[in-house]
Structure 1
Amino acid sequence: MSTPGPSQAHWRKSTYSGGDEGECVEIADLDQHIAVRDSKNPGNGHLTLTRRHFSVLLARLASQP
């Protein structure tokens, strides 16, 4: 099974993204990686992280005041 590329991936908006607040993030499962992009500008590229690094990022963001 091949890993889907970001253009073929199923992107979903974060449940923490606000409705009309303009700060929306989308993620896509790329098997061994997670892709992250700005939902307002999806053609502007994405960030690809390993699952471990994505977990570290979420933990650090959650610990911010």
Structure 2
Amino acid sequence: YDVVANVHGGGVSAQAEAVRHGISRALLNEEGELRGALKKAGFLTRDDRKKERKKPGQPGARKKFQFSKR
């Protein structure tokens, strides 16, 4: 198979994983017997980590404003 993929957003590593995931799913549609091998290699598992939202009253998701004792 020849594959041409355009990817935008995220970093280089995340883009590579997204393309790998997409190719694996397409290959699974064509040849179902590859499911075991692809699953064992971890190519069918999507990395679903997202950016944590900024909370009100602080500058970021986890960072707190600088504490002043006095």
Whether these two folds match at TM > 0.5 is no
Per the normalisation by structure 1, the TM-score is: 0.26
Per the normalisation by structure 2, the TM-score is: 0.25
| Higher fraction of helix | 2
Instruction: Give the structure with higher Rg (CA).
Output: 2
Higher relative contact order (CA 8 A, sep 6+): 1
